[in-house]
Amino acid sequence: MFNKLCIIGVGLIGGSIARAARKHNLCKEISAYGREQDSANLLRAQELKVIDSYSFDLTEAVAGADCIVIATPVGAMPAIFKQLAPYWSDKALYMDAGSTKGNVVAALQDVFGFIPANFIPAHPIAGAENSGVEAALDDLFQNRRLILTPAEQADPDFLFVAQEFWQTIGSDVSLMSVEQHDAVLAATSHLPHVLAFSLVDLLGKKDETVDIFKYAAGGFKDFTRIASSDPTMWLDICMANKEQIIPLIQELCTELQGINQMLEQNKTQELYDTFTYARNARQRFLDQYQ
C-alpha cells in the first residue's frame, strides 16, 4: 500500500500502528520522528524492529514518505503541523491518531488557512494503561472501532486509502463529523478518565492515614484501571475538549447530588430505581456492542 510510512510519535498508539502495518505488509519501510529527549524510546523501537529508522530531523524522517501518521499527544500537534507545512506533499496521505478532533482541525486551519485535502483525521478507539513503544501491539486495533472525521473538501481517493488502511489492520471504521466525534468521546471516554483520576486522587490522599487501597476489591481495580493512563496525554485531551467535558461534569454533579439527597432522606425506592435503570442501560449497551 505504501512505500514508506512515517510515524511521528512512537508510543503505544504510534508503535502499534507501525507493528500492525508491518504485520499486514502495508508498507516497505517505516521511519519515525521524535525529540532528542525521546532517543531511548526511539532506539528501543528500532531494536524491537517496530521501525526501520528514526531521526530527530523532521525533514529527514518524512523524506519520501507517502503516508505520515501523527501519533503525538494532541497538545503537540499544532507545533508538528507548523514544522510539516514547508515540506507538505500533496501526494502523501496524512493522518493523526488523536482523541480529540476540533483542536486538530483548528490547528490545521491556523497553519494552512484551510484543511489540506490529503489530511484525514482519525481516532482509533483503542489503548491501554501502559505507554511507550514496549507496550505496542500488532493487534491493538483488531475488532476495535476507528472514527474518521474527514472535512468536506477531503480528497475521496485519500479517504478511501485511509479507510482501507485501518480496515486492513482490523478496525471497524465509522465516519463522523468533528463535532459529533468530540461530543460522543467526551461522554464515553474523556469523562470516565476524569472520574477515574478524580476518585484515585481523592482516595490516594485519604490513604495517607487510612489503608484504603490495602482492602480495595477487584471492582475498584477494574473501575480505576484507566487512572494508570499517561497524565500528559490526558491533560492535553481534557484541555482540548473542555467545552464538551465541563457540561458533562456539571450534569454528573447534579446526578450525584440527587443520589446524596436520596440517601439523606432514606428514599430507598428511588435509589433502587436509579440503580436498576443504570444496570439495564449498561446491559443494553453490552447487547448492542456484542
Q: List, by residue range, all CATH 3.40.50.720 domains of the chain.
A: 2-176
**What is the per-residue pLDDT for 38?**
86
CA distances from 214 to 201, 203, 207, 217 (A): 16, 11, 9, 9
Tell me, what DSSP letter sits at residue 178? H
**What is the per-residue pLDDT for 177?**
97
The DSSP annotation for 126-149 comes to ---S--SGGG--TTTTTT-EEEE-
Quick one: which of 123, 104, 94 has its CA closest to 181? 123
**What is the per-residue pLDDT for 50?**
96
**What is the per-residue pLDDT for 204?**
86
Strand 119-120 versus strand 67-70 pairing type: unpaired
> What is the phi/psi pair of residue 96, to 5°?
-110, 180
Q: How many CB atoms lie within 10 A of CB 81?
A: 22
CATH topology of domain 181-289: 6-phosphogluconate dehydrogenase C-terminal fold (1.10.3660)
Amino acid symbol at 68: I
Instruction: Domain 2-176: give its CATH code.
Output: 3.40.50.720
Q: Per-residue confidence of the chain (290 residues) as pLDDT tens digits?
A: 899 999 999 999 999 999 999 999 999 999 999 998 889 999 999 999 999 999 999 999 999 999 999 999 999 999 999 999 999 999 999 999 999 999 999 999 999 999 999 999 999 998 776 778 999 999 999 999 999 999 999 999 999 999 999 999 999 999 999 999 999 999 999 999 999 999 999 988 886 666 777 777 778 888 888 898 889 889 999 999 999 999 999 999 999 999 999 999 999 999 999 999 999 999 998 887 66
Q: How many CB atoms lie within 10 A of CB 76?
A: 17
In angstroms, rounded to a whole number, what is the distance separating the alpha carbons of residues 61 and 68? 10
Q: List, by residue range, all CATH 1.10.3660.10 domains of the chain.
A: 181-289
**248 and 221 in contact (C-beta within 8 Å)?**
no
Quick one: which of 68, 78, 71, 39 has its CA closest to 55? 39
Quick one: which of 112, 110, 111, 107 has its CA closest to 96? 107
